[in-house]
Amino acid sequence: MTGRESFRGLLLAEWTKLRSVTRWVVTLVAAVALTIGLSYLAASGSRSDINKHADFVAGPLDEPVADSFYFVHQPITGDTTLTARVASLTPHSQGGSPGNGLTRLDDPSPFASPAAGLMIKDGTRPGSSYSSLMLTPSRGVRMQWDFDADRGGSASSGTRWLRLVRSGDTITGYESADGVAWEKVGTATPKSLPDTVEVGFYVSSPPDVFTSRGGGSSSVGERPTLTSATFDSVRVDSGTAWRGEQLGRTVVGEKGAPPGGRVTERTGTFTVTGTGEVGPEPPDDDMVSIALIGIIAGIMALVSVGVLFATSEYRRGMIRATLAATPRRGRVLAAKVIVLGGTSFLVGLAGTVGSFLLAIPALRSRGFTPPGFPQPSLTDGAVLRAIVLTAAFMAGVALVGLGIGMVLRHTAGAITITIVLVLLPLIVGMILPGSSPKWLMYTTLAGGMATLRAKPPTITLAEPWALIGPWAGIGVVAAWVALTLGLAWWRLRTRDS
């Protein structure tokens, strides 16, 4: 018999052990049912009214957006060319933290920067289609459109000439250092631009965002900022007078009055002060994470099977017969890992897919609907990643239970330790303030909960696992699997019972 054939027989033997114990099979089926059941209950108890908020704005792609800025504009019909020089750009952020345990959020998005530039927009209704070419203090020249697309130009943050050219449904952006030699930045095709549009120059200044989390809750607040810019050499194919106005909502200042934008003009030079943000504004709440939260119950069931798959042979003395038949002990452990890991992954996959299919409709019936929450699909890359990684997380915890069980060879103790490694950091992480629970997520099995999220990490939610990314979370679980199975292999080599 070859080594490959003997290992195949060992796999079959371990699989037979797993499926022949009725209570283990029942527990595996229960893990699926518990996962789906708890997920549905969580979805049924969740609710969102984001689409009913007075200041909610949906963009041309039917997704939540922020569309607030000071706009100096005029209507123009047909093709046109708008040129201007941004002679200066000066942000006036209040800076610092307001204290009281608040953390200032740093948004890396290219949309989250003070900006001064040119814009062609479908009227002045918040959320309407647009294309803009702007100068920013930290990200140079950028061309953006419809709150979604972004193209980078030069890295210059000093004086810059900008030009937008409309030709039918296409808008092309150019930049220049001297107004003579022009370089193309990009071409945009906004979703909806009528024949007559508003054309002009603008200033935006996103608010400083602060969050406080801990004690099982979280809150988010904003503080307004202002940015000033000077435009000169403004040229456009029209003779209509310029009109300045603040578009969209403004953040209320500390004294209760919203900051206002303004424009002054002197001998062809316009000084514009603006506030507000132009860009995507999706909620941090994650429908996929809510839909999969039931895995906590499923994991508890898988832990018991994983531990018993190791300790039952020691309790009954069957391990001696197994090792006598297969002296190479590493193969015994490998066979157990493959059988338990594969089975647990399939159980987790059935549970997560079932939870998603059942919980998402429940969430939709409770306000998690477009445009605030676009409909997620199993074919979406982020959703598919969450499903697969979450199933891998469940399998990983079962394998950790197997490893701890083989080290301790005590069922109750191994189950308790494995469950504590998952649940205790979650409880502590809900209580600890700010981003401090992040180290718990990076060092304990609780970090695997990050696999549930289809959205990027955020500090604005009470859930501590939202602080890290899904790949970091599954990496932590993989490290625990390697550690516990390594200890199990060492223990197996040194003692039979």
Q: Are residues 27 and 112 in the same domain?
A: no
With cut-offs at 50, 70 and 90, classify the pLDDT of residue 54: confident
pLDDT tens digits, residue range 343-378?
Answer: 999 999 999 999 999 999 999 999 999 999 999 999
What is the structure's pLDDT at 326?
A: 58
Pick from 67-81, 87-101, 181-195: least confident = 87-101
Domain boundary among 234, 265, 280: 280
349 with 215, same domain?
Answer: no
- The letter for the amino acid at 290 is I
Nearest CA to 496 among 336, 308, 327, 303? 327
Average pLDDT over the chain, rounded to whole? 90
Residue 446 has pLDDT above 50, yes or no: yes
Residue 333 confidence (pLDDT): 85
Per the CB < 8 A criterion, the answer to whether 40 and 351 are in contact is: no
* Residue 306 and residue 226 share a domain: no
**What pLDDT band is residue 1 in, cutting at 50, 70 and 90?**
very low
| Closest by Cα among 31, 20, 17, 11 to 297 | 31
Domain coverage including residue 203:
55-280
Q: Quick one: 349 and 230 in the same domain?
A: no
Q: Which residues contact 34 (CB under 8 A, 6 or more apart)?
A: 294, 297, 298, 300, 301, 351
Among 223, 255, 280, identify where a domain stops: 280
What pLDDT is recorded for position 329? 66
Are 235 and 266 in a shared domain?
Answer: yes
**pLDDT of residue 95 exceeding 70:** no
Q: What is the pLDDT of residues 289-339, one digit of tens each?
A: 999 999 999 999 999 999 999 888 766 656 555 555 555 667 888 889 999
- For 288-314, what is the HEC assignment? HHHHCCCHHHHHHHHHHHHHHHHHHHH
* 96 pLDDT higher than 60: no
Looking at residue 496, what is its pLDDT? Answer: 56
Structure tokens at 469: 């990314």
Are residues 188 and 310 located together in one domain of the fold? no
Task: Please tell me the total count of domains within the chain.
Answer: 2
Question: Which CATH number characterizes residue 112's domain?
Answer: 2.60.120
At residue 10, the pLDDT reads 82
- Predicted confidence at residue 197, as pLDDT, reads 95
Say whether both 83 and 153 belong to one domain. yes
| Same domain membership, residue 320 and residue 429 | yes
| 225 plus 370 within the same structural domain | no
Q: Is residue 119 located within the same domain as residue 182?
A: yes
| In a shared domain, residues 292 and 256 | no
Q: Is the pLDDT of residue 253 over 60?
A: no
| Same domain flag for 36 and 110 | no
Average pLDDT, integer, range 102-126: 90
**C-beta separation of 465 from 453 below 8 A:** yes
Query: What's the pLDDT score for residue 211?
Result: 87
For the chain, what percent of residues have pLDDT higher than 70? 91
Instruction: Specify the pLDDT at position 99.
Output: 57
> Which of 104-108, 172-176, 242-246 is predicted most confidently?
172-176
- The residue from 261, 280, 299 where one domain ends is 280
- Report d(CA 497, CA 494) in Å as an integer: 9
Q: What average pLDDT does range 96-122 have in this prediction?
A: 83
| pLDDT range class, residue 28, cuts 50, 70, 90 | very high
